[in-house]
Structure 1
Amino acid sequence: MLPILYSFRRCPYAIRARMALHYAAVPVALREVLLKDKPQAMLSVSAKGTVPVLVLPEGSVLDESCDVMRWALARNDPDHWWDDALAGQIEQLVQQNDVVFKPLLDRYKYADRYPEYSVGHYRAEGERFLQELEARLQQSRFLLGDSLGFADVALLPFIRQFALVDRDWFDAAPYPRLQAWLQALLASEWFLGVMAKYPPWREGDPTTVFPS
């Protein structure tokens, strides 16, 4: 029996989980979810109703994206994306991204839902994190050194979303290292290999094995 992964193609949390599974070459039964019509099978194992959700053959459930990433890398990590010596820095960056930057990203992306401030205000708030990442990338090729690692993959989908809100602005912004980092990762096999489109899963559908 394969582990079952409930996912949604564009969700940044699901993207980073799929990237780790793809890199680790850990096969799962992929079930693409419509967030407006979540399958009962998913809700029955994770009442949170968010993706990704990984159901292991013995019945254990992982419904946090970074837990899915760590689970995959514990099984196969040929290029050492995880580094115990950097664990504290990895956790700090991911925490900054998920707890501080992500809410600002949502306000920037959906500014009409948050009329208290302007789009420019939310973008400027989010830029504080971009500036920190730019400074890191001035010191090394990737966020925590000269090789691709856990933090790069965990943050990539969120920086991608921020850039896509206004790509002309992002491409002209004073973040050349971050722009190059983003472009390189978006062209990587690890990202391109997880962005194929799948039809929404329905009970009784044949198994879709990922990575294929």
Structure 2
Amino acid sequence: MTALPILYSFRRCPYAMRARMAVVVSGVHVELREVILRAKPPEMLAASPKGTVPVLLLPDGRVLEESLDIMRWALAQSDPMGWLTHDDQNLILATDGPFKIALDHYKYPHRYDLTDGTVHRDAALAHLGDLNDRLATAPYLSGARPAFTDIALFPFVRQFAATDAEWFAALPLPALQSWLTALVGSDLFVQIMTRYPAWKAGDPPVHFP
């Protein structure tokens, strides 16, 4: 039997979420190894010393350590939904960069010696407003159906919204809120949020999806 690629993941990590979503849509099968971040398995650290998830270890020995690279690798094998036709790298960089920095300061202010994260929350709103404007004419950033850009951004917008769900729900961002609701409620998201026990050496492989 041909060895499967090994995907180290953590269920709640937004980077791992988007990688798992692309893997599922591609139809590529991997061996999933769920990680507890406070007790990272030495096998993962040997493959990727930086110690963050997701990590994809390919049968030929190559290691992909970035979620976007894992997404693009999976979809390069098979892209039945045409996700790669809408890969807005500038928008993704803006989300992974300035928006994510603001999100972290908003969600975890005490990590940064802040009394609260309000200033950073409000700074992130400009990006959300831009997304809302882009979504005003179509349900997804890619048009009628979600594609690469939607999935790359969505876990971080979800994380922002969940930090203060009542406040977020009251924002005048109806198109963005509808987009988020649709993705959170999708069968794809439900599938990739299945709970798996933490992996340890010697466990039988978990085939995913």
- Counterpart position of 1:20: 22
Amino acid in structure 1 at the alignment position of 2:10: F
- Counterpart position of 1:174: 172
Tell me how far 1:148 sits from its aligned partner: 1.2
CA offsets per residue over residues 108-157 of structure 1, 9 Å max, x none? Answer: 11122334464221110111110010010013221133321100000111
- Counterpart position of 1:34: 36
- Counterpart position of 1:192: 190
CA offsets per residue over residues 44-92 of structure 1, 9 Å max, x none? Answer: 1111111000011111111100011001111111110111xx54xx110
Unaligned runs of 5+ in 1: none
Secondary structure class of the residue paired with 1:6: strand
| 8 Å Cα contact 1:142-1:181 kept in structure 2 | yes
Q: Distance in 2 between matches of 1:11 and 1:30?
A: 14
Q: Distance in 2 between matches of 1:125 and 1:117?
A: 16
Q: Distance in 2 between matches of 1:66 and 1:113?
A: 26
- Counterpart position of 2:6: 4
- Counterpart position of 2:76: 74
What does 1:44-193 align with in structure 2 at a 5 Å threshold? Answer: 44-83=46-85, 86-87=86-87, 90-116=88-114, 118-193=116-191
| 8 Å Cα contact 2:25-2:81 kept in structure 1 | no
TM-score between the two structures when normalised by the length of structure 1: 0.94
Q: Distance in 1 between matches of 2:136 and 2:103?
A: 23
TM-score between the two structures when normalised by the length of structure 2: 0.95
Identity %: 51
Q: Distance in 2 between matches of 1:47 and 1:112?
A: 27
Name the stretch that deviates more: 99-108 or 6-15.
Answer: 99-108
Secondary structure class of the residue paired with 1:209: strand
Secondary structure class of the residue paired with 1:170: helix
Runs of 4+ in 1 over 4 A off after TM superposition: none
